[in-house]
Amino acid sequence: MLQLRDAQPVAVRREDYAAPAWWIDTVDLTFDLDPAKTRVLNRMRMRRNTDVPVQPLRLDGDELNLARVLVNGQGASFRMEGDQLVIDALPDAFELEIFTTCCPAKNTKLMGLFVSEDTFFTQCEAEGFRRITYFLDRPDVMASYQVMLRANRSAYPVLLSNGNLVEQGDLPEGRHYAKWVDPFKKPSYLFALVAGKLVAREQRIKARNGKEHLLQVYVRSGDLDKTEHAMNSLIHSIAWDEARFGLPLDLDRFMIVATSDFNMGAMENKGLNIFNTKYVLANQATATDADYSNIESVVGHEYFHNWSGDRVTCRDWFQLSLKEGLTVFRDQEFSQDLCADASARAVKRIEDVRVLRTSQFPEDAGPMAHPVRPDSYIEISNFYTVTIYEKGAEVVRMMQTLVGRKGFARGITLYFERHDGHAVTCDDFAQAIADANPESELAALLPQFKRWYSQAGTPRVATQGHYDAVARTYTLNFTQSCAPTPGQSIKEPFVIPVTLGLLAQDGQELTLHLAGDEDADAVRSHTLVLTQQHESVTFNGIDSEPVPSILRGFSAPVRLDFEYTDAQLLTLLANDPDPFNRWEAGQRLALRSAISLITSGADVVGTTTLNDAFVDAMRGVLRNPTLDSAFKELVLTLPSETYIAEQLEVVDPQRVHAVREAMRAQLATALFSDWEWAYEQNQDTGAYNPDPLSAGRRALAGLALVNLCLAARASGDSVWPGKTLQRFKDAGNMTDRFNALNALVSSGHALAQQALARFHAIFKNEALVIDKWFSLQAGSPDRGGNVLALVKQLMKHPDFSLKNPNRARSVIFSYCSANPGAFHRADAAGYVWWSDRVIELDAINPQVAARLARALDRWSKLAEPYRSAAREAIARIAARPDLSKDTQEVVTRALA
Ligand code: 0A1
Ligand code: ZN
């Protein structure tokens, strides 16, 4: 069906929210599944919402073929207004029957009902259910569902939907049926069905209360040997939510199904989670430690949505962070709680903060900046962002900091008691946490705290220290500010919890005596809650100028400015008991060197970037017997090009790249024997185990190998590249194998080619591994300026497909979003190629296209000639007459 698009798509505004004019009490769906033409019979019991003025019934639809509309069994008159089916003059309660068909085989958007490798899947969040039937497709309409699935038995032996299987049997002509009833009311976005040839790993578990549950992980038959980790992650998630928050599994049966065609990571449909294969399938031969860890988080994330999202859902899509920020916070806490010790927990925290700062901070400073609770959108799919997810999680984390861990658990209990079975708002959440902790600072500051929901942008906290030797006091003066963001020129002060401590110059941590609070217990870490633009705190009894450790554990999502001396940073790097700030000190030192060379105009080649003190400190960390390998790996990894670029007013991406590469080369060479030592020290002989401790050892060995190959590149030595190739061949797990391959490819060694060919030959039937193969090449360093040509060639490879989102991402995103040194070309060829891919993808899958369209979000920061060329490439996309509203919204905002 031809889709006519509005010339000017209209924005949906939060302030326009109105309760629905009608409720849907029950939905009875019958599917006759056929890839070319699926028939959907939808019978609903509807009732007028008597709290709002009388209005016609307006049902949402998208790309549906309508065959019949019956009201109480009689043909009814209706009209179409755009995509909406409108019925006037209805009784206060009635039964509505709608019969439609759709074509899942042609559904390349992967929203609604689609086919992937001969199996039917659905994706309904946010507005996909309207592609299945006409409906009140909004999250505050919650209904009871029963679903009849009918299909050919041999082609689709497994028929799944939400809830419990209540009946199944055969039908004439080789067909069969299954009937499912979901015991919980839910919004349409949580509906799901799956039908196809799948097999399941099953496990029965007994909950604390003695109730039995059936857990299933469904995959294609060749993948059953890759489901153990997902199943274990699910079991751990169930136990954790019950232990930490008292939230039990409320279903007899909980299913996870994997599909290789999926726009996002996974989806929390009630009782029937649908996952991208990337976040389910793992065995040691095909998955890396990072894959294992991501699977654990995503399985946890989707499972935790069963309460934070499904039992209590969002009133409208502006409240998306209500479920996403909270659920990311919960999955982060889950992963931390699974760690065996404090060091592993700190490593997880550093990794989370790194994601926030390299992805969310740029978003908050760019054209797509929006509050955690946005005020308007054109296409809601564009708002599944790092701001809603990761910054939203930081907002929840700050609440926990302000009320304490126990108080927060009390707040969560109250939230679920109050709102179970309802669709609510971010205000309701914050209110519950505050009400459960009436004496807390959160309760006292709630209206101001909620500015975190309404104001976009990353606050900056400028801090100065003043030591008074006579009074033996140390004072910290704080000034907070926040730059304007689109539509918000003035920002009011935020509530910012700043956890801090003080170190003596010899590195000893000091006991804190707060001036004006002499009765307080002596502590070594204190959380100061900033509420004003200017504020200060004074510590008494300080014998010499201390080194402040500010924003410990990254206690608030802000940029902290403090004019540390190099000596102070070295003290923190060597001694801070707070591992986050210890790591941060190293990052600040590296950043400082990078920025001074970038802005100096000096020749990069031949300039020694890093001073001896820094190199010695890095050696000290690498050789430190008391630190874990995972932590060492984080400290010895330089800040990313994206993060460095964010600190600059004007960005020459080639210079940023060249400087960072020079720093890497210097660390590789200067620490050569230390890297050799670290590599040898971090070899595991036992059976493969993806736990944080062993994963950390492999990570550090992998970094060592990269450095050894880089150093060999400089010296012309061939010993380490040879050893690396051998390691690549002999590796007993994907982590070691891929790290070795990466070391050869990223150092540009000639041996990389044969390793790549061998890798492809070994794994040609493992789609997720082939994604890695594409991605590594598209992300490889552009030493001769030929990565763009390579990327073009990769797109012609028989294994490449633009329709498969994972594959498209593995080539196109790896080049455009993760390889700045290759993408930002002075001849603009990278940008032109990017704009062509956005346009091409937009016709297939607007969600994926709109994400790719964000690769040049920060164009206005670029130096010439990049800036003009980037703008032109964006304008080229924007000029297309037939863009989806997804992509149109992104490019329009970029050019505004
Ligand atoms: N709610 C899911 C994310 C998700 C959102 C939209 C989707 O449509 C393509 C798919 C998944 C989560 O947070 O995991
Ligand atoms: Zn989520």
Rounded-to-10 torsion of CA 177, 178, 181, 187:
-80
Going from the C-alpha of 670 to that of each of 639, 713, 718, the distances in angstroms are 18, 14, 18
- Ligand at shortest distance from the CA of 268: 1
Interaxial angle between packed helices 320-338 and 289-305, expressed in degrees from 0 to 180 and rounded to the nearest 10 = 130
Tell me the CB-side half-sphere exposure of residue 579, using CA atoms within 13 A. 21
pLDDT of residue 1: 37
- Is pLDDT of 228 > 70? yes
Ligand 1 atom at minimum distance from 324 CA: 13
Minimum CA distance residue for ligand 1 atom 12:
267
Distance 267 CA to ligand 1 centre (A): 5
Distance 760 CA to ligand 1 centre (A): 31
Whether the CB of 282 sits within 6 Å of ligand 1? no
Going from the C-alpha of 250 to that of each of 191, 272, 388, 795, the distances in angstroms are 17, 13, 27, 46
The interface pTM score, or ipTM, of the predicted complex is: 0.99
pLDDT in tens, 807-842: 999 999 999 999 999 999 999 999 999 999 999 999
User: Around ion ligand 2, which residues have CB less than 5 A away?
Assistant: 324, 327
Interaxial angle between packed helices 734-746 and 289-305, expressed in degrees from 0 to 180 and rounded to the nearest 10 = 120
Question: Minimal CA–CA distance to 26: which of 89, 96, 104?
Answer: 96
Q: Which residue of 384, 851, 886 sits with most ligand 1 atoms within 8 Å of its CB, as the best mutation to test the pocket?
A: 384
Rounded-to-10 torsion of CA 627, 670, 680, 286:
90
With a CB cutoff of 8 Å and minimum separation 6, the contacts of 262 are: 110, 116, 121, 123, 274, 275, 276, 277, 805, 806
Going from the C-alpha of 231 to that of each of 286, 653, 672, 769, 786, the distances in angstroms are 17, 43, 42, 21, 43
Share of the chain above pLDDT 70, in %: 99
Expressed in percent and rounded to 5, the helix, strand and coil fractions of the chain are 45, 20, 35
- Ligand at shortest distance from the CA of 266: 1
Please check whether residue 640 is in contact with residue 819, taking contact to mean a CB–CB distance below 8 angstroms: no
pLDDT in tens, 386-425: 999 999 999 999 999 999 999 999 999 999 999 999 999 9
Catalytic residue chosen out of the listed positions 296, 302, 324, 333: 302
Amino acid at 602: A
Minimum CA distance residue for ligand 1 atom 1:
267
Predicted confidence band of residue 605 (pLDDT cuts 50, 70, 90):
confident
- Is pLDDT of 345 > 60? yes
Whether the CB of 576 sits within 6 Å of ligand 1? no
Whether the CB of 274 sits within 6 Å of ligand 1? no
- Is pLDDT of 221 > 90? yes
Ligand 1 atom at minimum distance from 266 CA: 14
Whether the CB of 287 sits within 6 Å of ligand 1? no
- Ligand at shortest distance from the CA of 269: 1
Whether the CB of 268 sits within 6 Å of ligand 1? yes
With a CB cutoff of 8 Å and minimum separation 6, the contacts of 257 are: 121, 160, 194, 198, 217, 218, 219, 272, 273, 274, 275
Distance 628 CA to ligand 2 centre (A): 31
Minimum CA distance residue for ligand 1 atom 8:
125
Distance 360 CA to ligand 1 centre (A): 18
Distance 300 CA to ligand 2 centre (A): 10
Predicted confidence band of residue 517 (pLDDT cuts 50, 70, 90):
confident
pLDDT of residue 7: 57
pLDDT in tens, 613-657: 999 999 999 999 999 999 999 999 999 999 999 999 999 999 999
pLDDT in tens, 47-92: 999 999 999 999 999 999 999 999 999 999 999 999 999 999 999 9
pLDDT of residue 150: 99
Distance 125 CA to ligand 1 centre (A): 6
Cα–Cα distance for residue pair 803/845, rounded to 1 Å: 8
Minimum CA distance residue for ligand 1 atom 11:
267
- Ligand at shortest distance from the CA of 331: 2
Distance 876 CA to ligand 1 centre (A): 30
Cα–Cα distance for residue pair 406/408, rounded to 1 Å: 5
Active site residue 302: yes
Going from the C-alpha of 547 to that of each of 4, 458, 496, 806, the distances in angstroms are 63, 25, 21, 47
- Is pLDDT of 196 > 80? yes
- Average pLDDT value for residue range 359-369: 98
Distance 846 CA to ligand 1 centre (A): 15
Whether the CB of 324 sits within 6 Å of ligand 1? yes
- Is pLDDT of 2 > 60? no
Q: Which region among 3-17, 475-489, 674-688, 845-859 has the lowest average model confidence (pLDDT)?
A: 3-17
Whether the CB of 889 sits within 6 Å of ligand 1? no
Minimum CA distance residue for ligand 1 atom 13:
324
pLDDT in tens, 110-151: 999 999 999 999 999 999 999 999 999 999 999 999 999 999
pLDDT in tens, 10-43: 999 999 999 999 999 999 999 999 999 999 999 9
pLDDT in tens, 260-277: 999 999 999 999 999 999
Going from the C-alpha of 66 to that of each of 80, 101, 695, the distances in angstroms are 11, 7, 54
pLDDT of residue 379: 98
Rounded-to-10 torsion of CA 404, 405, 410, 416:
120
Cα–Cα distance for residue pair 599/612, rounded to 1 Å: 21
Whether the CB of 267 sits within 6 Å of ligand 1? yes
Predicted confidence band of residue 3 (pLDDT cuts 50, 70, 90):
very low
Long-range residue pairs from 521-528, CB within 8 A, at least 24 positions apart, any chain: 524/577, 525/499, 525/500, 525/501, 525/552, 525/578, 526/499, 526/500, 526/501, 527/401, 527/497, 527/498, 527/499, 527/500, 527/555, 528/497, 528/498, 528/499, 528/500
Whether the CB of 635 sits within 6 Å of ligand 1? no
Q: Give the mean pLDDT of the chain.
A: 97
Whether the CB of 123 sits within 6 Å of ligand 1? yes
- Average pLDDT value for residue range 140-163: 99
Tokens representing residue 468 in the block:
């008074």
Amino acid at 276: N
Tokens representing residue 477 in the block:
């003066």
Whether the CB of 261 sits within 6 Å of ligand 1? no
- Tell me which residue has tokens 């659905």: 122
Minimum CA distance residue for ligand 1 atom 3:
267
Q: Which residue of 111, 130, 267 sits with most ligand 1 atoms within 8 Å of its CB, as the best mutation to test the pocket?
A: 267
Cα–Cα distance for residue pair 752/795, rounded to 1 Å: 20
Query: Both ends of the chain: CA-CA distance in Å?
Result: 33
Q: Which region among 190-199, 297-306, 475-484, 508-517 has the lowest average model confidence (pLDDT)?
A: 508-517
Distance 31 CA to ligand 2 centre (A): 27
Whether the CB of 621 sits within 6 Å of ligand 1? no
